[in-house]
């Protein structure tokens, strides 16, 4: 059985906004096995970036981790001191932020930005750092002659590769990539994802890919964590969660995105409505206002995350009827705003 590198349990992260509190991550639990790619997927605002940032403990000033554990190789990242955490960033856990390709500093060459990590964080000397820069560019498929270029001299896809090179600079065990291919065209998306997969396999690292696009998960991930409104709706192997989903939200997401492989996909069916305002989440199941299979009990009782198969969990009162619900979910009219139950 694959060893677990990271185990997140009942993680809670809140933002304070004026007098109110937004529970952006409200009891999330999932595992990242060693040497795998895990996709953290869900619509905008469901808490993906908040989790990603919590894992590196680089959170906004108005954010706080209010509960739970993030066990990384026997250490709970929630309770490490800032100094311990700092020693671990880049060296063990590297984070590629959302819009990383636009966040490279425009006034420095990419080599000096790589050097910042290699020399200041990694303690490498000038020669070693130069050698490592060249290795890193080779790893991500960019000519080393371009190390002295400025970010604006690269295409969007190349800037994303530079961001990946930065993340890999100090040989981390876990790379967290927040929306690594959003804003790139489909061909470049595939190239970047293929490269991430090759690097992950060659280096034996684990990767968390944060994305709103379930087709990215289907294309590259080994495991899926589906988030909805601050909670994990479903998690498990890619095969189990995407081929045989047990949660209506996963079933809906699957219908809503085109296939990244370019295979002929049927009609895309959006999930009507929008996620709830996390300052005032609905009682019971948070997906209830949009779920075509909602029952009265769903509106009152929050469904716990329960085992529905080997290494497969889902939080739905009707998970036991998943086979029947999947058949109904495949029909376009199921999602037309008409509640079936």
Q: Is the CB of 151 or the CB of 303 nearer to ligand SF4?
A: 303
Q: Is the CB of 53 or the CB of 318 nearer to ligand SF4?
A: 318
* Calpha distance 108→212 (Å, rounded): 31
- Residue recorded with tokens 């959170």: 59
Q: CB atoms < 10 A from the CB of 296, how many?
A: 10
Tokens standing for residue 19 = 């007098």
Q: Is the CB of 200 or the CB of 334 nearer to ligand SF4?
A: 334
Say whether residue 257 binds ligand ATP (CB under 6 A).
no
Cα-Cα-Cα-Cα torsion 181, 187, 190, 192, nearest 10 degrees, comes to -60
Instruction: Find the shortest distance in angstroms from Cβ 258 to ligand SF4.
Output: 24
- Which residue of 11, 32, 36, 50 would you call a contact of ligand ATP, by CB under 6 A? 50
Q: Where are the alpha helices (DSSP H) in the chain?
A: 48-56, 82-88, 100-103, 110-115, 126-139, 156-168, 186-203, 214-220, 238, 248-256, 296-300, 322-329
* CA dihedral (77, 79, 80, 81) positive or negative: positive
Tokens standing for residue 46 = 């469901």
Say whether residue 49 binds Mg ion (CB under 5 A).
yes
Instruction: Find the shortest distance in angstroms from Cβ 332 to ligand SF4.
Output: 18
Applying the rule CB under 5 A, the residues between 97 and 126 that interact with Mg ion are 98
Q: CB atoms < 10 A from the CB of 169, how many?
A: 25
Summarize as ranges the residues that interact with ligand SF4 (CB under 6 A): 247-248, 285, 287-288, 291, 293-295, 298, 303, 316-318
Say whether residue 62 binds ligand ATP (CB under 6 A).
yes
Q: CB atoms < 10 A from the CB of 10, how many?
A: 13
Q: Binding mask 198-237 vs ligand ATP (x if CB under 6 A, - otherwise)?
A: --------------x-------------------------
Say whether residue 45 binds ligand ATP (CB under 6 A).
yes
Q: Which does 316 bind (CB under 5 to 8 A by kind): ligand ATP, Mg ion, ligand SF4, none?
A: ligand SF4
Applying the rule CB under 6 A, the residues between 264 and 323 that interact with ligand ATP are 278
Q: What are the residues binding Mg ion (CB under 5 A)?
A: 49, 98
């Amino acid at each position: 059985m694959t060893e677990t590198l990271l185990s997140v349990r009942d993680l809670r992260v809140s933002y304070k906004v004026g007098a109110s509190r937004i529970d952006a991550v409200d009891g999330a639990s999932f595992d990242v096995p060693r040497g795998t790619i895990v996709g953290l997927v869900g619509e905008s605002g469901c808490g993906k970036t908040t989790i990603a940032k919590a894992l590196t403990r680089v959170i906004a000033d108005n954010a706080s981790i209010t509960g739970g554990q993030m066990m990384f190789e026997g250490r709970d990242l929630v309770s490490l001191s800032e100094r311990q955490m700092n020693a671990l960033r880049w060296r063990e856990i590297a984070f590629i932020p959302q819009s990383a390709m636009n966040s490279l500093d425009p006034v420095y060459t990419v080599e000096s930005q790589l050097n910042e990590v290699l020399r200041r964080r990694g303690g490498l000397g000038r020669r070693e750092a130069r050698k490592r820069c060249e290795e890193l560019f080779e790893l991500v498929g960019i000519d080393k002659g371009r190390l002295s270029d400025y970010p604006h001299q690269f295409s969007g896809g190349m800037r994303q590769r530079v961001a990946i090179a930065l993340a890999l600079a100090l040989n981390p065990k876990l790379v967290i990539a927040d929306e690594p291919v959003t804003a790139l065209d489909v061909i470049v998306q595939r190239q970047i994802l293929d490269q991430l997969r090759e690097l992950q396999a060659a280096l034996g690292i684990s990767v968390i890919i944060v994305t709103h696009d379930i087709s990215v998960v289907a294309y590259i991930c080994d495991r899926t964590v589906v988030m909805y409104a601050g909670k994990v709706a479903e998690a498990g192997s890619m095969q189990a969660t995407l081929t045989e989903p047990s949660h209506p939200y996963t079933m809906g997401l699957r219908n809503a995105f085109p296939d990244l492989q370019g295979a002929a996909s049927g009609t895309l069916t959006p999930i009507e409505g929008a996620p709830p305002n996390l300052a005032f989440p609905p009682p019971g199941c948070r997906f209830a206002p949009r779920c075509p299979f909602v029952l009265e009990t769903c509106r009152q009782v929050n469904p716990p995350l329960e085992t529905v198969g080997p290494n497969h969990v889902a939080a739905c009162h009707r998970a036991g009827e998943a086979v029947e619900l999947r058949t109904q979910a495949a029909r376009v009219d199921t999602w037309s705003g008409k509640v079936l139950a």
